[in-house]
Chains A and B, each alone.
Chain A
């Protein structure tokens, strides 16, 4: 009986060893190959007076089907104090597109009323503020001397927040 058990164990170990090289298949399932966050011009500071916003597509592929993806929509904010901020426009609650309301100086979601602080991207009120993931992914911004604004990478995972950066 003992020997049978031994043989069974050997076969079990070998079976596990035969399938383990397939484990990296997880990379196949979670890759987001079509999103290459390379450096891209997204606007000029002179077109954005303080207290205004621009919606832009990033990264642009030229393929309308891909470029229409809400996950490629971003907000470029010029806050009243003149500083620049840029966040993913995808609400962390249920993936509606959020917008900046300059009269109240806050980012608002039209679907369920989540409200984000434009200085930090953190949800301060509404359903998104009650989640674990509540900070909008932020775009790294670079401003050239002539005022051209460039996006160069995203911190966090779009739709999942900065916290969910896997």
Chain B
């Protein structure tokens, strides 16, 4: 007995320890979640939510690290961000990952929402998941909004002003609400936004995640690495600027906020009542998404068979796009005063928004009624083309080998750039290294397939 124990290597002992821990963890909530790692290349449409969650985790990790240096104070907020950006080693990389991951999270969340909408996923007992998802989307927006204000540059203060004036515009409770949410004075605003950004909203999101995440989760390492790599490459190519430090004595001039609040910005600039434009209409928009599962009574799951939901979905997407782009527009005629230059013609603006709904619904009903039956017939006639092409084992090894060499090269360039003080270039090559990992992880999976078939 004793002799057999001795003959065990360190590795097999570690495996025993691993088994021992796993056996005990089976009793915990951790094993209630089933993590599925796909054995084939799947369309990421099926796990866009998981990719959104991954960006949320990236944001959590980088955000926590940024807290080591950031100080939520009126006098020091901008300076500490500048310190992180310019002086602390690796700070620029972390800040850019955090910034670009926030954009990625918002884009993925929007993509996720519309994919689920068009594919009718909320129909099969997923109403709770849908509703919590919409709320999570709103929270993601608020999280991004409170985050980018923390730097306290001119652009941030513009966004703070928008948020504060919208809160104030709420009838009856507005000013009280503003005092609760924002405190009193700019010093309080920074601290309050900080608390919302790092504690309150993330905790609410984590709580909602427990009733949003399905029990079966698809975790696809290659696609996750692609997303992470893309964030890094975006960070290297488009490093987020520091902007101009906020100075209450200096008027900021015209500045355009982050893209995700441009919709709001455009609505407010139409000059109609601020509460209606900036609070009521966006709230209606959110409610419209919340109730879609309850008004869509169609039988089918395909978008082609659900003209109402599809029309509303297209309308929502188009409205987001149009208002966002419109928010970038400022009358270039500098002879006019600022107030005139910023105004967006309300008649034109709201007519376009209503027309979008009408046109989308007409188009989707028209498609379902007149075009879809023909498409369906044609599809039935034509069998799905079978694409099949197989890698030989040698080809696979060649791919894996060259990918590893490429990755070593990418790592080398990344290290060299980092040591030479070129953080942006380092970020690009770190991203390339991650994407090369994605390629390798995918072809390893292909390799397993080949082995299985032999």
Contacts and interface: CB of A to CB of B under 8 A. Distances in A.
Do A and B bind? yes
B444 A21 contact: no
B225 interface: yes
Nearest to A29: B68
Contacts of B76: 63
A3 interface: yes
Contact of B430 (A8, A21, A34): A21
B441 interface: yes
Nearest to A27: B89
Interface stretch (B179-187, B257-265, B406-414): B406-414
Interface string A51-72: 0000000000001000000000
Contacts of B429: 21
A21 B407 contact: no
A28 B433 contact: no
Interface string A6-28: 01101101110110111011011
A6 to B, nearest CB: 8
A31 interface: yes
Contact of A21 (B69, B418, B440): B418
Nearest to B229: A18
B65 A28 contact: yes
Most buried by B among A8, A18, A20: A18
Given A7-B447, A7-B448, A20-B411, A27 B90 contact: yes
Nearest to A31: B88
A11 B445 CA distance: 10
B87 interface: yes
A21 B411 contact: yes
B90 A25 contact: yes
B418 A31 contact: no
Nearest to A30: B89
Given A14-B404, A17-B437, A28-B94, A33 B87 contact: yes
Given A18-B225, A18-B434, A18-B437, A28 B90 contact: yes
Contacts of A18: 225, 407, 433-434, 436-437
Contacts of B363: none
Interface string B63-98: 001001100000010000001000111110010000
B89 A24 contact: yes
Contacts of B403: 14
Contacts of A11: 440-441, 444
B80 to A, nearest CB: 10
B200 to A, nearest CB: 25
B440 A4 contact: no
Nearest to B427: A21
B266 interface: no
Contacts of A13: 404
A11 B403 CA distance: 11
B437 A21 contact: no
Contacts of B225: 18
A34 B444 CA distance: 47
B437 A14 contact: yes
Give the interface size class of chain A.
20 to 34
B400 A33 contact: no
Contacts of B65: 25, 28-29
Interface in B360-419: 400, 403-404, 407-408, 411, 414-415, 418
B454 to A, nearest CB: 9
Interface string A125-158: 0000000000000000000000000000000000
B451 interface: yes
A14 B430 contact: no
Contact of A24 (B90, B433, B434, B447): B90
A88 B429 CA distance: 43
B453 to A, nearest CB: 12
B242 to A, nearest CB: 16
B437 to A, nearest CB: 4
Contacts of B83: 33-34
B88 A21 contact: no
A3 B451 contact: yes
Interface in A77-125: none
B50 interface: no
A15 to B, nearest CB: 6
A29 B408 CA distance: 26
A28 B91 contact: yes
B407 A28 contact: no
Contacts of B436: 14, 17-18
A3 B88 contact: no
B151 interface: no
Nearest to A8: B444
Contacts of B227: none
B104 interface: no
A163 B195 CA distance: 40
27 contacts: A10-B400, A10-B444, A11-B444, A13-B404, A14-B403, A14-B404, A14-B440, A15-B441, A17-B437, A18-B407, A18-B433, A18-B437, A21-B411, A21-B414, A21-B426, A21-B429, A21-B430, A21-B433, A22-B430, A24-B89, A24-B90, A25-B65, A25-B94, A27-B90, A28-B68, A28-B91, A33-B83
Given A8-B444, A14-B441, A15-B437, 7 more contacts: A7-B400, A14-B440, A17-B407, A27-B89, A27-B90, A28-B68, A28-B88
Which 3 A/B pairs are nearest by Cβ-Cβ distance?
A: A27-B89, A18-B437, A28-B90
